[in-house]
Amino acid sequence: MIKTVGSICSGIEAASVAWKPMGVSFKWFSEIAPFPSQVLKEKFPKVPNLGDMNNIPDMLKLGKIEAPDLLCGGTPCQAFSFAGNQKGLDDERGNLTLKFVDIIKANDSVRKKEGKEESIVFWENVEGVLSDKTNAFGCLVSSLAGLDQVYSLDKWPTAGLVEGKKRNVAWRVLDAKYFGLPQQRRRLYVLAGGKHFHPENILFEQDTNHLDNQPEYPLCGIKEGVEFEIFRQYSDCLYSAYGTKWNGNAAAYNGSLFVVQDGRIRRLSPLECERLMGFPDNYTDIKGASRTNRYQAIGNSWAVPVVRWIGNRLINNQGEPIELRKYKKDLAVEIGKKLWFYDLRDGKLPVTKDRVINTSSIPNECNYCSLLDIVSKDAPKSIYISPVGCRGIVRRKEERKININERLEEVLLKIADEMDEEEIEKRSRIQKRGKYSPPMKETIIV
């Protein structure tokens, strides 16, 4: 039974938001970034933040902190992200994955002396880690499973299971847009525990012929007395640079992170981004917080409803017996004496004529919503796109021959054209008074 949790690379603690209501006690956090650390101090003042994760193994061995039942973490994803440099373990941030393993080993050592079983491990990261050229994922799984040698694949499957000497390890890619968030956010979730623990019962499901049958929502609507328009039902993946580098991303052209409010176009606000990740309203709105702080912290966090779904199955024992071992001959590859690897990438895995296992990114029971459900009329004026900025987006699209959402382009041009008419009239009035001279050079600021 899971009673205590230690959180590594805690960020703004999606895990606590998801799991604390289930009765577990978070014994410590580990976060070094200033703003997320401030959020933790305000939201969870009784939970110590240990800071640098590199110090945790020694703190565990010296008895300075408790060795909890469950360790959770999402070591920095930039080393594996398609949006980053993808240097894997050659990146200092990627090497923190190995430090995560050191923490697990130290935690297990302490728990063994206390007569307890190995800790349960929960790890989240970007899907790109599965194709990392340095095999960081293979290193993590092999270490957790207790393999004598690192198992290596050119590309790991999006779902799988390893039965190791020390732990059984399962993983599955899940997409947040099927868990009640209007955001397409595919993330890898790994769960591991001792030989008597069966993580496949938590992460996988007996298939109930699920379908990706998202209902059609309207793209326009009145909310809080304000007229809103969106360009898509759900957004692209929210990223940490949103708010600072938004105009260089595909979302600037497909419209997924834009909203039209009373005829003017703007980006999503920090409040709306909190809702996009499943956090309570104004969760990051603490004293001294800048919009950039909030955007970065939210974009780096976890999708709360997905973590809650896993927690309910893990902590509240809502999993179901999958019994993959019955089909070992058909599904598994022997990677050592009595050690097995199951490649479950097919998503809907028929194990018998009448039995299918769901290992896809879509859960059996889907929950959908629209971007219109998360918008708020109280957006700051500073996140509206200026008419000059609107024209700049269209110009960049034309120069670079980028595809753009047709309705988005209509709105951008309409706002830009209105600016042109107003500006012409304004300049005409000023010129008549003899106070206008054309600028030497126009500067485009988006």
Provide the 10 A C-beta neighbour count for residue 387: 20
The residue written with tokens 């987006």 in the block is 393
Cα 50 to its chain centre, rounded Å, is 23
Q: Is the pTM of this model over 0.95?
A: no
pLDDT of residue 444: 35
| Separation CA 264–CA 145 (nearest Å) | 54
Distance spanning both ends of the chain, measured CA to CA: 53
pLDDT in tens, the chain (446 residues): 899 999 999 999 999 999 999 999 999 999 999 999 999 999 999 999 999 999 999 999 999 999 999 999 987 644 444 444 544 445 454 467 788 999 999 999 999 999 999 999 999 999 989 998 888 899 899 999 999 999 999 899 999 999 999 999 999 999 999 999 999 999 999 999 999 999 999 999 998 665 667 788 999 999 999 999 999 999 999 988 776 665 556 777 899 889 999 999 999 999 999 999 999 999 999 999 999 999 999 999 999 999 999 999 999 999 999 988 888 888 899 999 989 999 998 788 887 777 889 999 999 999 999 999 999 999 999 999 999 989 988 999 999 999 999 999 999 999 998 876 656 566 566 666 665 455 444 433 33
Under DSSP, the state recorded for 46 is T
- The answer to whether residues 381 and 231 touch, using CB atoms and an 8 Å cutoff, is no
CA distance 371 to 408: 15
Distance CA 71, CA 57 (A): 13
Q: What are the start-end ranges of the E strands in 3-53? A: 4-8, 25-28
Separation between Cα atoms, residue 122 and residue 424, nearest integer Å:
60
Distant-in-sequence contacts of 279-284, Cβ < 8 A, 24+ apart? 279/12, 279/14, 279/17, 279/304, 280/17, 283/12, 283/17, 283/39, 283/43, 284/12, 284/39
Beginning with the edge strand found earlier in the chain, give each strand of the sheet holding 205-206 in spatial order. 205-206, 355-358, 348-352
To which residue do tokens 């006690």 refer?
A: 25
Q: Hey, what are 31's tokens? A: 């976060």
User: How far apart (Å, rounded) are the C-alpha atoms in residues 189 and 306?
Assistant: 9
Q: Which residue has the tokens 């299971």?
A: 161
> What separation in angstroms does the CA of 273 have from each of 17, 20, 281, 363, 377?
16, 22, 9, 23, 14
For residues 68 and 122, the answer to whether their CB atoms sit within 8 Å is: no
Residues whose CB is less than 8 angstroms from the CB of residue 72 and which lie 6 or more positions away in sequence, other chains included: 5, 6, 7, 8, 15, 121, 122, 123, 124
For 371, the token pair is 């971007």
CA separation, residue 413 to residues 65, 229, 255, 388, 430 (Å): 59, 16, 14, 10, 25
Rounded CA-CA distance 197/273 in Å is: 36
Pairing mode, strands 167-175 and 159-163: antiparallel
Contact 97, 133 (CB under 8 A): no
Residue 340 token pair: 């097995």
What whole-number distance in Å separates Cα of residue 182 and Cα of residue 180? 7
Q: Could you give the 3-state DSSP secondary structure of residue 224?
A: coil
pLDDT at position 79: 44
Helix (H) or strand (E) holding 428: helix 406-432
Half-sphere exposure of 366 (CA within 13 A, CB side): 21
User: What backbone torsions phi and psi does residue 33 show, to the nearest 5 degrees?
Assistant: -65, 135
Compute, in degrees rounded to 10, the torsion defined by CA atoms 24, 359, 176, 90: 90
Identify which of 218, 244, 243, 245 has the alpha carbon closest to the alpha carbon of residue 232. 218
